[in-house]
Amino acid sequence: MRPIKEKKERSLGIKLFLKAERCNSPKCATVRKPYGPGMHGQRRKRQPSDFARQLKEKQKVQFLYGLNNRQTMNLFKKNPPAKIFSILERRLDRVAYYLGIAGSPRIGRQLVSHGHIMVNGKRVTIPSYSVKVGDVIAIRPESKGGKLFEGLSEKLKQKDVPSWLKPMGEDGSGTCIAEPDFGGAQTSFDISLVGEFYSR
C-alpha cells in the first residue's frame, strides 16, 4: 500500500507524511525522486491545463487533511478562503501534530480516533473536531505511559509550534490561543485554485 501512496506523494509534489521520521529525512519519496511517477515521470514537460492545476490542488487538500470529495466540496462552497484555512488548520488531528503529540497529521488522526487525545479534559475521538481559542489539548492520562509516546518529552523540546498555539508545558498540555493567520501562512496548496475548481 505504501508504494502506491508514495506515487501519489510524488505525483502531487507534496509530503503526505506516510512515515513521520522517514518523511523528514533524505529517504522521503519526494526527496529521493523529486519528479512524477512512471517511466516518463522525469520527461514530462507539457504545461498542465487550468483544470489539471485546479484538480491537483484539490487533491492536495484531500490527501493533506484526509477529506473525501463531498467534505471538500461542502467546505469550499460554503466558506470564504480565510475561514476554510482556519477550519482545516484547527482540526484536532492537525493540532495534535503541530503541538508535537503526533509525528504527522496522519498519525494524529489515528491517535484521536483511538481515544488518546483530550480537549478540555474530555476524550475526543473525531479527527475533524474543530479546536477553538482557549481549548486545552492533552494526552489522555491512561495513554501517556504507552509505547506511542515514548521519548515524547525530548521531541517536544525540538518542536517548532505555530504562534497561534501555546506549546506543551510541564503539565502535559497545549492551548489554542488564537486563530490561524491565513494572511501570513505558507501552505502546500493554492486555496484559490481549489475554489476555482468548485466554482465551475
CATH label of the domain that carries residue 100: 3.10.290.10
CATH number for the domain spanning 24: value is 1.10.1050.10
Predicted pLDDT at 35: 55
Are both 65 and 128 inside the same structural domain? Answer: no
Are both 53 and 127 inside the same structural domain? Answer: no
Range of 97's domain?
A: 92-176
Are both 83 and 99 inside the same structural domain? Answer: no
Are both 75 and 119 inside the same structural domain? Answer: no
Highest mean pLDDT among 20-24, 52-56, 103-107, 119-123: 119-123
Domain count, the chain: 2
Query: 110, 94, 119: which is closest to 149 by C-alpha?
Result: 110
Give the whole-angstrom CA distance, residue 27 versus residue 88: 28
Give the whole-angstrom CA distance, residue 69 versus residue 126: 18
Give the whole-angstrom CA distance, residue 148 versus residue 139: 11
C-alpha cell at 109: 488522526
Q: How far is CA 81 from the centre of its chain?
A: 17
Lowest mean pLDDT among 46-50, 114-118, 133-137: 46-50
The answer, as to whether pTM is greater than 0.75, is yes
Exposure letters 46-56 (e unless 16+ CB within 10 A, then b): eeeeeeeebeb
